[in-house]
Amino acid sequence: MEDPAPSSGRSAFVWLVGASQVVGLASVVLTGVWMGHFRGGFAWDGTAQEFNLHPLCMVLGLVFLQGDAILVYRVFRNESKKNVKILHGIIHLLALIISIIGFVAVFDFHRAAKIPDMYSLHSWCGMGTMILFCVQWVLGLVFFLLPVASSWLRALYLPFHVFCGLVLLAMAVGTSLLGITEKLLFSIMPTYSKFVSEGVLANTLGILLVCFGVLLGYLITKEDYKRPPNPEEEALSVHFKTLTEGGSPTTP
């Protein structure tokens, strides 16, 4: 199927997707450098090195992969919807697994170091984001990948699923920024105001995460970049749904 967007719009789209990937990957790399170079590297032994896996997993899973899982609907907007849907689910599953590792890392570190859990705004926002992310993943699976929900129910839920996806991405970026601020004030409060390299690097990471969120938000919400309606696909979907529900198709 041909792309109805004019070539200038298509060219801007390619550049914006490219920019989002550069910014997103740079964020993951910068998190790795921050934790690896400035904070002593990584381990799974209850020490601060286990904590260091937390920011890396969250930025990789909950920000970068979650963003890219949404973006596949725009990048592959002319491919088979079923395949794109499966890819969307797989990347989200990967994001979920990595986020859970990051989540366990911080609770494990807190337990070993006898640090109380869930008292900070970062932890409140992070817990809210993780719960919503899990609910969204399960509901997405049940509604859109398993033949359980009726077409009517799918159509009713779809706008909420899309809106919650964007809210989740914004919450993941916001919670990451809170985590950056918390970590900097816990670690380098006396020197942070002297523009030491760790502080500047972590601030830059925060700005890159905001840029990633804004680029993704633009690419996802811009009308021209949305999947064009495909009557053939819709008819097939209705046909399939009607068969699985035991009725007769409304379209041939």
Sites of contact with its own copies (CB under 8 A): 115-116, 119-122, 124-125, 128, 159, 163, 166-167, 170-171, 173-174, 177-178, 180-182, 184-186, 189, 192-195, 199, 202-203, 206-207, 210, 213-214, 217-218, 221-223
What is the nearest approach in angstroms of its own copies to the Cβ of residue 190?
A: 12
| Residue 51 vs 241, nearer CB to its own copies | 51
| Residue 91 vs 106, nearer CB to its own copies | 106
What is the nearest approach in angstroms of its own copies to the Cβ of residue 191?
A: 10
What is the nearest approach in angstroms of its own copies to the Cβ of residue 85?
A: 22
Contacts of 25 (CB under 8 A, 6+ apart): 64
| Residue 91 vs 136, nearer CB to its own copies | 136
What is the nearest approach in angstroms of its own copies to the Cβ of residue 212?
A: 13
Token pair in block for residue 145: 């990948």
Q: DSSP readout, the chain?
A: ----S-HHHHHHHHHHHHHHHHHHHHHHHHHHHIIIIIS----SSSSHHHHTHHHHHIIIIIIIIHHHHHHHHHHTTTS-HHHHHHHHHHHHHHHHHHHHHHHHHHHHHHHHHTPPSS-SHHHHHHHHHHHHHHHHHHHHIIIIISTTS-HHHHHHHHHHHHHHHHHHHHHHHHHHHHHHHHHHHHHHHHHHTTT-HHHHHHHHHHHHHHHHHHHHHHHHH-GGGSPPP-HHHHHHHHHHHHHHHTS--S--
| Residue 59 vs 171, nearer CB to its own copies | 171
| Residue 46 vs 174, nearer CB to its own copies | 174
| Residue 108 vs 182, nearer CB to its own copies | 182
What is the nearest approach in angstroms of its own copies to the Cβ of residue 91?
A: 23
What is the nearest approach in angstroms of its own copies to the Cβ of residue 180?
A: 6
